[in-house]
């Protein structure tokens, strides 16, 4: 799909304004939202579902999430009547560990590829617009993130990746959460700042680098947001 929007013109707009512009231009395009139920994703979900109540909410069901994450996901899905889509890998945790061992210890990048990236690539195929909760401040690998990016999947399909909170600070995330009385994952109260699969998530030593608590500090990305080819 060709990008009708000029990304630079949206950079100074508020999330609600970016959302309205995208939905106004791409009125007949299928949209989805990837959601790990972290604080940023909850804000994007809160904004988008008011405009598109039935939007598919893609949750990467790796089989390794915290019990608190699963409980929170199920509660929010019920309370908000979400169109929740649990995106699952080809193999169960038991099958993968039986065949390949404990990959999150020996080869975490391959584990992420099998349990997150590959399933998401398949799950994104039906959609033209992909909403995310990414922020530039989250990681050096996201520092150049645009609110609107055209991304091409490895299979050749292009889709519009929309990060409504790209320029938001951590302070803004929690201000919105408090002002709108959004609930949040209980792990935040325990000191976690970036929450993924339980075996690969720790409380960061450096609060200024929240993703330093992921994968034992060996990497910053699972690969989801680096697999595709960006372009305007």
Has 111 been annotated as catalytic? no
Rounded Cα gap, residues 193 and 203, in angstroms: 7
Rounded Cα gap, residues 180 and 1, in angstroms: 35
- Structure token digits, residue 204: 């960061």
Out of 111, 197, 200, 222, which one is annotated catalytic? 222
Whole-angstrom distance between the N-terminal and C-terminal Cα of the chain? 11
Provide Rg for the chain, Cα atoms: 17
Positions marked active-site:
222
């Amino acid at each position: 799909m060709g990008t009708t929007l000029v990304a630079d013109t949206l950079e100074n707009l508020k999330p609600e304004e970016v959302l309205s512009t995208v939905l106004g231009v791409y009125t007949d395009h299928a949209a989805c939202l990837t959601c790990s139920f972290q604080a940023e994703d909850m804000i994007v979900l809160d904004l988008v579902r008011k405009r598109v109540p039935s939007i598919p909410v893609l949750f990467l069901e790796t089989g390794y999430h915290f019990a608190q994450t699963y409980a929170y996901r199920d509660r929010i899905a019920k309370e908000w009547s979400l169109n929740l889509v649990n995106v699952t890998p080809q193999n169960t945790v038991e099958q993968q560990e039986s065949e390949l061992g404990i990959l999150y210890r020996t080869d975490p990048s391959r584990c992420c590829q099998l349990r997150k990236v590959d399933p998401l690539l398949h799950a994104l195929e039906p959609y033209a617009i992909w909403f995310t909760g990414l922020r530039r401040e989250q990681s050096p690998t996201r520092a150049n993130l645009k609110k609107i990016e055209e991304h091409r999947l490895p299979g050749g399909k292009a889709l519009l990746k929309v990060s409504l909170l790209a320029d938001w600070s951590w302070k803004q995330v929690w201000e919105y959460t408090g002002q709108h009385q959004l609930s949040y994952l209980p792990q935040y109260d325990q000191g976690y700042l970036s929450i993924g699969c339980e075996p690969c998530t720790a409380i960061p030593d450096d609060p200024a680098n929240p993703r330093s608590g992921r994968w034992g500090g060996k990497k910053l990305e699972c690969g989801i947001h680096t697999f595709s080819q960006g372009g305007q």
